[in-house]
Structure formats: structure tokens, C-alpha cells
Amino acid sequence: MQHRHHHYSNQPHFSAASGPTTPFGSHVVVPSAGSESKRGKRRGSYTCGRCGQPKKGHKCHLPANSTADDSFVDEAPSPSFSDIRPPPPPRQPYSHLRRALSFDDDVDSSGGGGFDSPDLDEFGDSGDDIDLATGLGGLPASCLSEILKRLPPPGLLSAAMVCKGWRETTRRLWKAAEMLRIRVPTRAQVGFVGSVLQKCPALVNLSLRMESDVDATLLAWITFSCPNLEFLEINTTGSAINRITGDELGRFVVDRRFLKSLKMEGCSNLGGFSLCSSSLSTIWLSGLYSLSKMVFNCPNLKEISVDFSHEENDNTDLVTMADVLARNCPRLQNIHIASIRLSNTVVLALTAAKLRGLRMLSLVLGSEITDASVAAIASSYQNLELLDLSGSSISDSGIGIICNVFPDTLSRLLVALCPNISSSFIQFATAQLPLLELLDCGMTICDPNSPSAETNVRELPQASNDKVHNSYQKLIIKHARLKKLSLWGCSGLDALYLNCRELNDLNLNYCKNLYPERLVLQCPNLENVHASGCQELLIGAIQSQVDNNAAADNQLPCKRLADGSKRVGVPHFLSAEQPSEDDKKRRKIERRQCSVLVL
């Protein structure tokens, strides 16, 4: 069985394929004339051609027609292993070239020292076969692959230029890659993305963060290079412009037989589109503006999210879009529509579809949505798990309808930017919805005399005269399953009492009129409290109560009195079950630190 020492596998001017071996089992490196002629004459040899010893200060005792193989046989016998005594291993010539790869702990087993690996940029391809089972320098190929696969794409491209072994490993990584995330900087061209995609024929999931303009050329590269693509996401940042038109997007979707998810931002130039696919299950399109047509012919579509521009002159017909979704996408489960043109008519068109599998309904920024829409939703879809009516004009009556219809299913309720809702009905909703885990009431309890500066995203719906709250309000919430509560921008709130043992995230940003002495947080699992724009005294009170909750972890055991009237705390030394040292250490380790975030 051929054995090759890893120290000599990358030297272009030595061949270790044949030659005598030492008693220790290692090959003796013999100069090869064939390799010398193949490499071409670059510089003279530093070793003797007859005995292999360094030329400097050396007088060879062998005749001119003698070879290194003959000299090794004529040596004195070895007393321990055989009759052939090997000469000391030849010294390797010192190279001043920079090291392509260095292992400082790598030492020759026969006593030789380390050496500098030849630079492949200097010598070119060495011509030696690299053992991919052991990688380069003795490092297993599996370890090298695990290291290189954690590099970002630019780092992987640079690693391919180190040596032949790394180049082969990176080639196999690119070829086997199924998921890829790329950030395309402003100065990069679309051809750069195409050159990277050509290396990944097995790609299934592709996410692009474009800082440069996008056009149909990118879709052509994806079509040509990724035949098995299932998930595609294109995000635009900064001043990047998405120039893809609706016809180009429609042709791309038709050609992708395996595409399951399409997410794209900055779709302001679509104009109109028709998406026909039997494989698509998820569509996210944002930045839409003035679409002449919107056709979805996707029978297996389960989730759709369309986010329209906030321009007042957007003339997209949302009623027609709702009718098309109801007719061509019967399996829809999640619907998200964000548009200032949402109205009761659009909601009635959606409710007429009778989508039996609908579980999430999000209709955002529709200032014309009223309690009538809530009643239509409640009568058609009684199994909703998420309902988002942020930015609508629903009132306390709409909250009452939600509580009466969805007590056994609703787990997430978002009614931010709804100024007609009072704190008493928010409190009523938490009492009537036992499965609630997320509640967003941002900008609902507002001070009419001092609107928050954070409302510059859009104008709030005009509150009806009978719903204007001229005095500050208080909010008391006690819930067993609530995990996230958002009260951002509730400047009309001056008192808050929370008793939620599972709450881990609380947003109090810009609650400017909340009094520190009227804040009570009984939330032992609280991890994050957002308090940007709050008073310094309120931030200090939050921090103090958070620290007290952490310190309250060592609670005394409780027992009832003899008459069973009430429970009282009992010191540990009087309790039958005293906590052990292991229990104390475990409580200390499991104790979560809560962060008060102020930006």
C-alpha cells in the first residue's frame, strides 16, 4: 500500500511516489528528473545529485555514475531492525517564499524540521494529487470543510486561492451548498452574483440583500444557475431601485417549477402582474404602487403579504384583488394587506370568500375600517389565531365583538394606532382572551393635548367626539399567558399595574406621563423593557422593580394557619423542606437578567 508523508506532498520538485523506505516505514525522498524537466529550469539545486546532502561545504565521496539508491544500500547495517542502515534524512532547502499554509506544530516524524510550503501563485499547479481524505498538511478534509463552510461568500472565494487542496474543498462546498445569503454592495455588478450562483447548482434557498439596482438580468442569472431553487428573497437597501416589471416577474415565476416562496422588496415598478404557479405557497411583495392588475393563479398558496406605498394617489383596486384571491387561492391561511385604501368594502370582499383555513388576518393602515368590518370578520372567520387591525377606526364595541367571538382561539391581537379604544376595554380584552400571548396597543391611549412625535409615519384616524379622553387613564392587566405587551406612545397613560408571570418583553417607549409611583411590575420572567423617551425617574423605577423581581426569587414557603383562613410565609429553618445547596445554585444559574433598553 502506497504511503506518502504529508510534508512532501506539495513540493513540485520532489516525487514521493517511489523509492526506498527507511526501517521506520517512511519514504526516502529522491530527486526525480521527470519532475525537474516538467517544472522547467528556474534555479539550481542546493543538494548533491548523488548523495542528496547539501552542496555547501560538501565533497561527495561517491563516483559520478553512482545514484542515491546505490549509496543507501552500501551503508553499514542497522543493529535494531535490518541489515540496511538508512542515512540521516536529507535537509530540506529553506525557502524565502511566503507560506501558503502553515502548521507550526507539524514536525517530521523522522527528525526533520518544518518547511515552507510552496506558493501556488508562484509555482502554479504542482501536479501532485492531493489526498482529499486527509486534506492538506494532515488536516482531515471533513475538518477543513467544517471550517471553510462557516466563512461568508467573499471569504470562501479568497480561500479558494490559497492552494489546490483548499480550492478543491471550496469547489465541493459551493457545489453542495443548498442555502446562500449574499450582500451585493453598491459598486458590484449583477455579473458578480451570476458568477457566484454558477458555483451552486444545488442551491435551494437564496437570499439577496441588494445595495445596487436590480433588473431582470438578476432573474435571468437565477433561472440559468439555480434550476432547483425553492426559496427566493430579494431585499433592497439604501438608494437601490428595483426595476423588475410585472411581466418579467410573471415569466420568472412560470419558469420556476419548484419555487415555493417568493419575497421581494421595492416593487414600485411592477405596474401590474399575473403570477401563475402550482408550487408557490408564500408570496411577499412590498413597495407596490398603482397596480393596473393583480392576478394570483396559485391554487396551493397559503400565505400572502402585499404592502402598498403610502402615497395618497395610489389607485390600486383592492376589491378586485380580494375577489381574485378568493376565487383562485382557496387554501390561504395567512393574509396581510397594508394600504391606506383599505375600507369596509375590501373587508366584505374578503369575508365573502369563505376561506375555511384562514388563521391570520392582518389589515393595516385602513382608517376606513370600522366596527362593521369587525362584525363581518367575526361572522366569517371564527378560528382566527392572529388579528391585526392596526391603524383602523374600530372602537370599544369592536373590541367587545372580538372578545365574544375568539376567546378559544385568538393568541395575538394588534390594535396599534387605534385612538378610539379606551384603556378599560384593553383591560377587558386581556380578561376575556385567556390564550392571548401578544398584545400591541401602541398609540391607542394618547394624550390629545400632546401627541407623540413618533406619529410622523402617517396621520392617525380621527377619533370620534364621544371617544376623546380628556383625562389620563390607568391600565391594570393580570394574565397567565401573556408574553409580549406593547404600549409604545401611550402618552395618555399615567398608571400601570402588571401581574403577568410569563411576560418577557414590555415596550413602554414614549410613555411620557406615566408616574413612577404608579408603576407596578410583578413579572418575574421579564427579560427586556423598552423605555426610550421616558422620564429619568420612571426609568429608575423600572430598573428598581426589575431588580426587586429578580431578588424575589428566594421566596419563603407558605403554609395555611390551623383554621385554614389564610396562608402565611414560613422561614426556611421552620419548614420541613429546606432548600439544598444544589437548589440554591440552580436558582442562581437559572435566574434571568432583565435589560432596560434606553436609546
346-384 pLDDT tens trace: 999 999 888 889 999 999 999 999 999 999 999 999 999
Q: Write out the three cell numbers for 471.
A: 383625562
Contacts of 265 by beta carbon, 8 Å cutoff, 6+ apart = 234, 235, 236, 242, 286, 287
pLDDT band at 177 (very low <50, low <70, confident <90, very high): confident
User: Cα separation of 338 and 306, whole Å?
Assistant: 7
Q: 567: how many CB neighbours lie within 10 A of its CB?
A: 11
**What average pLDDT does range 192-197 have in this prediction?**
83
Q: How far apart are the first and last CA of the chain?
A: 67
Q: CA dist 302 to 252, 297, 357, 423, 542, Å?
A: 20, 12, 9, 35, 42
Strands (E), 237-289: 261-264, 273-276, 282-288
Q: Is 402 exposed, middle or buried (0-12, 13-18, 19+ CB in 10 A)?
A: buried
pLDDT at 565: 60
pLDDT at 102: 27
**Which of 279-297 are b and which e, b meaning 16 or more Cβ less than 10 Å from the residue's Cβ?**
bbbbbbbbbbbebeebbbb
**Continuous segment of H or E residues that includes residue 325:** helix 318-328
> What type of residue is 305?
S
**What average pLDDT does range 486-500 have in this prediction?**
92
What DSSP state is assigned to residue 15? B
The fold of the 138-176 domain, in CATH, is Monooxygenase (1.20.1280)
pLDDT at 310: 84
Q: Are 26 and 110 in contact (CB under 8 A)?
A: yes
What is the pTM for the complete model shown?
0.69
Q: Poorest-confidence range of 144-153, 288-297, 487-496?
A: 144-153
As a whole-number percent, the residues of the chain with pLDDT over 70 amount to 67
**What average pLDDT does range 76-85 have in this prediction?**
40
> What type of residue is 10?
N
171-175, 398-402, 588-592: range with highest mean pLDDT: 398-402
Q: Write out the three cell numbers for 584.
A: 440554591
pLDDT at 160: 85
Q: Are 190 and 218 in contact (CB under 8 A)?
A: yes
User: Cα separation of 4 and 585, whole Å?
Assistant: 54
User: Cα separation of 431 and 434, whole Å?
Assistant: 7
3-class state of residue 472 by DSSP: coil
User: Cα separation of 439 and 484, whole Å?
Assistant: 6
pLDDT at 44: 60
**What average pLDDT does range 316-336 have in this prediction?**
91
Strands (E), 436-504: 438-440, 473-479, 484-486, 493-500
Residues in the chain: 599
pLDDT at 551: 55
119-156 pLDDT tens trace: 323 323 333 333 444 445 567 777 888 888 788 877 88
Q: Is the pLDDT of residue 24 over 60?
A: no
User: Cα separation of 579 and 583, whole Å?
Assistant: 6
**What average pLDDT does range 193-201 have in this prediction?**
85
Q: Is the pLDDT of residue 204 over 50?
A: yes
pLDDT at 52: 66
Residue 63 φ/ψ region, left for φ over 0, alpha for ψ in the -120 to 50 degree band, beta for the rest: beta
**What average pLDDT does range 202-212 have in this prediction?**
91
pLDDT at 166: 85
Which of these, 39, 15, 68, 87, lies nearest to 5 by C-alpha position? 15
Please calculate the CA angle 141-176-189 and round it to the nearest 5 degrees. 115
What DSSP state is assigned to residue 29? P
Q: Is the pLDDT of residue 463 over 80?
A: no
Q: Is the pLDDT of residue 469 over 80?
A: no
Q: Are 138 and 173 in contact (CB under 8 A)?
A: no
Q: Is the pLDDT of residue 501 over 70?
A: yes
* More confident of the two residues 228 and 549: 228
